A and B are shown apart, each in its own frame.
Chain A
Amino acid sequence: MTAAVEVPPTPLPSADPVLQVRNLVKHFPVRGSGVTRRTVGEIHAVCDVSFDVARGETLGVVGESGCGKSTTGRAILNLQPATSGQVIYDGKDVTQLTGSALRVVRRDMQLVFQDPFASLNPRMTVNNLVGEPLVIHHIGESKQARRDVVAELLRTVGLNPEHGNRYAHEFSGGQRQRIGIARAIALEPKVLVLDEPVSALDVSIQAGVVNLLEDLQDRLGLSYVFIAHDLSVVRHIADRVAVMYLGRIVEVATRDALFERPAHPYTRALLSAIPIPDPRKERERRRIVLVGDVPSPAAPPSGCRFRTRCQVFRDDLNDDQRQLCIEQHPALEERGQGHPVSCHYADVERVV
């Protein structure tokens, strides 16, 4: 077995961490169109991301499209090799593992996909889909024993085991996502990376799947990395929330702290976009509307990556203050808000 890896310190430690991510970086090469296909640039998908996930905890990861949430999830599972950094599980650096050592870790870390239509092989029956992890990891002595396990798994996620002989396309979106969840928990993992597990589903179905996930967490003691862009879902399920922007975590806090006292201007803008189911309140509150698009991750802005769209940078700062934002990347650290935030001029403002 590989020797335990030394874990560098992190600005946001947590007690009893089951998964530790340190300085995770993922760059994708941009190749030219010529014959030699030289690498002409790099997409900075994930930059220096560090966090801990405690046993039984749900860490929400939020941010807009293209900010590196999913890539972070894939890199944690070594489905996409990280450019640098460490993902430490059980004393081992997952990014360095290959072959059978990686397979061992896969038993403990699983992924639930966003798209329940694309992530289930259309040529396989539900029994085969859910039973596949058992076959791969040689769990269960006989075919019948495996079939019983599969039936139990299907019951666990709220499906009828008698439908096991059907194909995925014969189910609704919510049912398919349950199949995907059954497959992911078949190996009794410790950590589940949920890559936007409910965003492809109807709102009416979302609640059912979210409740199932919470229920499973209580019963099986799972830790979740819950990737989402729907803040109301995250507010419901997450214990802690990390906000990502352009490949970096800009703020991490417990759920209540984040929603009550958002310190980063980007977080405030995100939160102000949550609709409030009360028309009177909704009309009165101040919305922070971000202008422009996310800058190209191939050429991220210098200093603070958010400054090109930052309402504070635009409206509240003078030129001297702006210079700091342009020149220096604000480290993710405690700045008097009670939780780490990556902004030179972090401020608390109630927006929800």
Chain B
Amino acid sequence: MTDVTVPKPDMIKADGPQRDVSSRDFTVRRRSQSALVLRRFLQHRLAVISLVVFLVLVLLSLFAETWWQYTSTTITDDLSQGPSLKHPMGTDSTGHDLLAKVLAGARVSVLVALLVAVLSTAFGTVFGALSGFYGGRADTLMMRFVDLILTVPSLAILITLGATIAGGGGDPIVIALILASLSWLQIARIIRGLFLSLREKEYVEAARCLGASNRRIIFRHLLPNAVGPIIVNATIVVAVAILAETALSFLGFGIKFPSTSLGLLVAEGQSAASTRPWLFYFPGLVIVLIALTINFVGDGLRDALDPQQNRVRA
């Protein structure tokens, strides 16, 4: 862990190749920026734990067939059983093992949520950045467009899109696209506001004075300074996307049988919340777990990417 190389006594005595230490103030090993970011991330204990939990969850659901005896479509003889060793999360009324269904659902839900987060963050950031950076008439047009979409109830749009584009098929990627088409709006507004203030910074003027192009200023100077809000919003979008997918599936316009998702499972289990609570609580718990861990990972990432942040957590 020592970064300062202290001349060892035997090194000084030796006649051989002796490093000239006196000519330098002190010697610091050159640390690459990525190593520093990693180091800061690893210091964020909650983020590391969350990342591990999240990855374990994803791996378990991806390779469910290899370690769990049932699949989401296996029908067993145990109908509406509570949690037991044989069925850790119980079974539903047709005899499906809930753990198998939750694993399959998590796979779809995580795919949808991450896809929504990536797509909407990428598009929303670029849209907001251009709007905020150029300002003026383009900004007005772009932002009124965003306002226009935001005034329409989002659920109505989701249902319409879900019924028409998805064509009742319930393809997770199509569902992700539909959800992303609405969730980039908030990100665009936040980034636009941020860019409005960032573009007036003196270091932007300095870059312009050096002859930097607008593209360079946007991507090299402004975006890195907007990373914090971008990541925080992306993690929020993950949680929101899972919930939106739940709502859509609940209404019958999202993921459909035989495919499944955590949202669909919660929707199915909701009617049985009082009689067979395991059907409702276990998928719900996994949703909360995913949303929470992603938020903490995002928190850790934001701190790690901020060079001025050097607080070491206990």
Contact = CB atoms under 8 A, between A and B. Distances in A.
Given A121-B225, A123-B224, A162-B28, A106 B210 contact: yes
Interface stretch (B97-105, B186-194, B201-209, B294-302): B201-209
B308 interface: yes
B308 A106 contact: no
Interface string B143-181: 000000000000000000000000000000000000000
Given A121-B225, A122-B225, A136 B31 contact: no
B211 interface: yes
Given A118-B201, A125-B33, A133 B211 contact: yes
A51 B203 CA distance: 28
Contacts of A137: 211
Given A136-B212, A160-B25, A162-B27, A113 B308 contact: no
Given A160-B25, A165-B30, A167-B308, A102 B211 contact: yes
Given A133-B211, A137-B211, A79 B205 contact: yes
Contacts of A111: 206, 209
B203 A120 contact: yes
Q: What band does the interface of chain B fall in when counting residues whose beta carbon is under 8 Å from A?
A: 20 to 34
Contacts of B209: 77, 79, 106, 110-111
B216 interface: yes
A119 B212 contact: no
Given A162-B27, A162-B28, A136 B206 contact: no
Interface in B73-113: none
B307 interface: yes
Given A113-B202, A162-B24, A122 B210 contact: no
A132 interface: yes
A107 interface: yes
B221 interface: yes
Interface in A135-186: 136-137, 160, 162-163, 165, 167, 169, 180, 183
Contacts of B216: 136
Interface in B26-54: 27-28, 30-33
A132 B201 CA distance: 17
A103 interface: yes
Given A123-B224, A136-B212, A165 B206 contact: no
Contact of A119 (B24, B202, B225, B227): B202
Contacts of A124: 221, 224
A230 interface: no
Contacts, number: 77
Interface residues of A, number: 31
A115 interface: yes
B202 A79 contact: no
B203 A119 contact: yes
Given A165-B33, A167-B308, A121 B211 contact: no
A103 B211 contact: yes
A176 to B, nearest CB: 12
A136 B30 contact: no
Nearest to B305: A123
Contacts of B210: 106, 110, 132-133, 136, 183, 187
Contact of B202 (A106, A118, A136): A118
Nearest to A134: B210
Given A79-B205, A136-B216, A122 B308 contact: yes
B269 to A, nearest CB: 46
A225 to B, nearest CB: 14
Interface in A83-134: 102-103, 106-107, 110-111, 113, 115, 118-125, 132-133
Contacts of A113: 202, 205-206
Contact of A169 (B208, B220, B224, B307): B307
A351 B224 CA distance: 52
A107 B211 contact: yes
A13 B210 CA distance: 29
Given A118-B203, A123-B225, A162-B28, A167 B212 contact: no
A132 B207 contact: yes
Nearest to A169: B308
A121 B199 CA distance: 12
**Which residue of B205, B209, B221 has the most chain A CB atoms within 10 A of its CB atom?**
B209
A137 B209 CA distance: 12
- Residue in B206, B213, B221, B225 with the greatest tally of chain A CB atoms within 10 Å: B206
A120 B203 CA distance: 5
Nearest to B205: A79
B27, B30, B210: residue with the most chain A Cβ atoms closer than 10 Å = B210
Given A122-B225, A123-B224, A123-B225, A167 B307 contact: yes
A77 B207 CA distance: 13
Given A133-B210, A136-B212, A137-B211, A115 B202 contact: yes
Contacts of B25: 160, 162
A123 B208 CA distance: 17
Nearest to A100: B211
Nearest to B213: A136
A102 B225 CA distance: 27
Contact of B221 (A121, A125, A165, A169): A121
17 contacts: A77-B209, A106-B211, A107-B211, A110-B210, A111-B209, A118-B202, A119-B203, A121-B206, A121-B225, A122-B307, A132-B210, A133-B210, A136-B211, A137-B211, A162-B27, A165-B32, A167-B307
Interface of A: 77, 79, 102-103, 106-107, 110-111, 113, 115, 118-125, 132-133, 136-137, 160, 162-163, 165, 167, 169, 180, 183, 187
Given A106-B210, A183-B210, 10 more contacts: A115-B202, A120-B206, A121-B224, A124-B224, A132-B212, A132-B220, A136-B211, A160-B25, A162-B24, A165-B31
8 A-B pairs with least C-beta separation: A118-B202, A123-B224, A103-B211, A106-B211, A121-B203, A119-B202, A167-B307, A133-B210
